Amino acid sequence: MGGKNSTFQTLINPEKDVRNTHVHGISNRMLTRPEVPKFGELIPILLQYVWSRQMDGKPVLWVAHNGRTFDVPFLIFEFRRCKMEMPGSKLSSVSLEKLREHYKIPITGSAHRAMQDVTTLCYVLQKLTFELKLTVPQLLEKSFRVSDLAASRPEK
């Protein structure tokens, strides 16, 4: 699934109370520990990681199972709140749960936790691109850009 150092995960202090602890198991106490970064502190680390994965002349592909309705709008809002612009990389969005079931990919950790979702999504993406015989350029053609959502969503 991409080799050594191909994944990145961290909790983020949202600087407000977290909801839905019963779904994801993440509590306010977990997020307010001193070593948990706030989003503004995380942006440089995240961008460094993303750009370190980029190959010369190739686009960075961000893949999210709930990208259009949650992940990308969340990232756009947080980047703007920190007075930064989110890179306009392309993204592909699919329903993770349905694809996981379709491809019979077992859950090996806690559902609704980032690394489990990322791991599942890696397997889904491999199976999906193989099944559809998609090349990377074709996959990028079917993706949407951050700017597509940023332009269509009002500022909060």
- Active site residue ranges: 112
* Strand ranges (E), the chain: 61-64, 90-93, 144-145
Residue 146 · residue 86 · CB < 8 Å: yes
Residue 11 · residue 31 · CB < 8 Å: yes
What whole-number distance in Å separates Cα of residue 153 and Cα of residue 155? 7
What whole-number distance in Å separates Cα of residue 13 and Cα of residue 42? 10
